[in-house]
Structure 1
Amino acid sequence: MDKQEYIESGILELYVFGQLDEPEFSEVTKMAEKDEDIRNEIISIEKAIINFSESVAPFLSSGNYEKIREALMLKHGVVDMKPKSSIYLYLGWAASILLLIGVGYQYVQLEDKKTKIETVETEKSKLQESVVDLTLQNKNNEATLAIIRDNSNTIVKLEGQEVSPQSYAKVYWNKDTKAVHIDAAGLPEPPEGMVYQVWALKLNPLTPTSIGLLENFKGNAKRIFTVENANEAEAFGITLEPAGGSASPTLEQLYTLGKA
């Protein structure tokens, strides 16, 4: 056959796809080295396949595309190396490409479903966390309201002192149960490494007794604290002390004070 018939026979396409046996492959290689038209036709086929593959499968990454292509090659095995006419070769390419697109589409759909499932699970987890948070907030609100509404509690107002005149606080003291709760909403956040300490005071002579620290101040949004019971108290005071508290109050750091 002449050169044009040779080019149109489909053997060059099989050569590009690596579907020729060794003698035929070597023959085409030698002819391509000698004949510029055959060499250019091989290059043209390679470019056409690359461009067409990219255009029909834009939604696949190169890695996934290669995996699918390899899977197709393994699945279909070696085809007839000598098609009766080039039309069968083109039909084979079309079928393979359609199958490649179908597999790719199914792959993308599967990945999309996995992503949606993961999103739903994440939203479900967030919703469960929100429900837990709301439940805890409701319990805290109920506990706070119970303290404020308990008629057994004596409310002691603590006024700001020289170091912080704008500060204030409230003590809810149940003289029957001796329980003490502190409303510290009127206190500024303590500096790093410092903590508020609550004192139950007897006035004559002045005898302070520590009944607790207002720890985790920043994490307590409502600023309601439960401290130790106060068996006897004529007044309450709150001072600013080093972390861990002090054995006796630092009077220069007395923030609030009030008589019971």
Structure 2
Amino acid sequence: MNDKINTFLNSDLLEKYLLGDTTPSETEKVETHLSEYPEVQNAYNTLQKNLEIVSKSQAVDAPKHILNNILNELDNTPVINIKPIRKYRKWYHLSIAASFAALIFAGSSFVFFTQNQNLKTENQKIVDEIYDLRNDISLNNNKLNDIMQQFKQLNNPETEKYIITGNNRAKNLKTVAYINPKDKTSMIDVVSLPQLPEDQQYQIWAQVQDKMVSLGILSETDRELKQIPYTENALGLSITIENKGGNQIGSKENSVAEIALQKHN
């Protein structure tokens, strides 16, 4: 790999291009490198895969009911048609017309008042829906920020990837750990966990010298990339089967998966 390619890959242009954050000139430069250099294309494919891992782990269903509720409320608001008051030419009909007009006016006033109260209620509902929608947008923005942070961690050159598979007691178990000893961060992606009886659960540990330090519980329904505590000088990772509620002391006898970690000076 020549210096030109190394310089390009060490820049952040590929990440910016994948996130749609490049200028026109930067876009042209990235696409030129993608078409000319297989090394750049391979790096771009890896970035896409990592982004997909992070995005799938943080997927959130959009709040579909909010807009539908607002449209339904607007569609259901009745339209009032007021019939025009008939004019009588004969003078002896004036008193009847005046009385009839008074009744129409009183009735219309009551209808308008009722409709006004209903509209106030409906408007308040719409305001509440919009407020909830804004809260959902804020939560989704925070979730997106978390995704971007995890994406950066995955693509950090200092981040080490460890695939942890189960032994004969849990053949279908598979998790992937991402550890960055420089930034002191750890994440784990639960790919598959065999189902356990209701009174048992999986627990992940860090092996530190002659003891095991608990890093938390792994749930069968917890299929997402998540942070776990970083353990200084950890020699390996182990997943055990424990009784419900977890255990304070780890035992290799309960281990169903383990892997050694690289040593760092």
Tell me the TM-score range normalised by the shorter chain. Answer: 0.5 to 0.7
Alignment partners' CA distance in 2, 1:188 and 1:223: 18
Kindly provide the amino acid, as one letter, of the partner of residue 222 in structure 1: E
Contact 1:211 1:229 (8 Å CA) reproduced: no
Distance 1:230 1:192, change over 3 A: farther
Q: Which runs of 4+ in 1 moved over 4 A?
A: 86-93, 188-195, 215-218, 250-253
Shift of residue 136 of structure 1? 1.8
Partner of 2:123: 117
For this pair of structures, how many residues does the alignment match? 171
Alignment partners' CA distance in 1, 2:244 and 2:149: 27
Residues 208-219 of structure 1 aligned to structure 2 (within 5 Å): 208-214=211-217, 218=221
Residue of structure 1 aligned with 2:143, choices 134, 137, 152:
137
Distance 1:189 1:129, change over 3 A: farther
Kindly provide the amino acid, as one letter, of the partner of residue 138 in structure 1: L
Contact 2:206 2:231 (8 Å CA) reproduced: no
Partner of 2:233: 231
Shift of residue 132 of structure 1? 1.3
Structure 1, gaps ≥5 residues long: 1-58, 60-85
Shift of residue 192 of structure 1? 5.1
Shift of residue 251 of structure 1? 5.0
Distance 1:187 1:99, change over 3 A: same
Alignment partners' CA distance in 2, 1:247 and 1:180: 20
Q: Please give the per-residue CA displacement for 1:112-149, whole angstroms capped at 9, x wherever unaligned.
A: 42134123202311321221121122122112212211
Partner of 1:201: 207
Q: Please give the per-residue CA displacement for 1:66-108, whole angstroms capped at 9, x wherever unaligned.
A: xxxxxxxxxxxxxxxxxxxx97985575244213222122113
Contact 1:200 1:230 (8 Å CA) reproduced: no
Alignment partners' CA distance in 2, 1:177 and 1:115: 53
Partner of 1:159: 165
Kindly provide the amino acid, as one letter, of the partner of residue 200 in structure 1: A
Contact 2:173 2:193 (8 Å CA) reproduced: yes
Residue of structure 1 aligned with 2:113, choices 103, 107, 118:
107
Shift of residue 207 of structure 1? 3.5
Contact 2:172 2:194 (8 Å CA) reproduced: no
Partner of 2:61: none
Structure 2, gaps ≥5 residues long: 1-77, 79-91
* Equivalent position SS for 2:126: helix
Partner of 2:57: none
Kindly provide the amino acid, as one letter, of the partner of residue 231 in structure 1: N
Percent of matched pairs sharing the same residue: 16
Distance 1:119 1:222, change over 3 A: same
Q: Please give the per-residue CA displacement for 1:21-65, whole angstroms capped at 9, x wherever unaligned.
A: xxxxxxxxxxxxxxxxxxxxxxxxxxxxxxxxxxxxxx9xxxxxx
Contact 2:215 2:229 (8 Å CA) reproduced: yes
* Equivalent position SS for 2:191: coil
| Coordinate RMSD, CA, aligned | 3.4
Partner of 1:182: 188
* Equivalent position SS for 1:184: strand
TM-score normalised to structure 1 length: 0.53
Shift of residue 168 of structure 1? 0.7
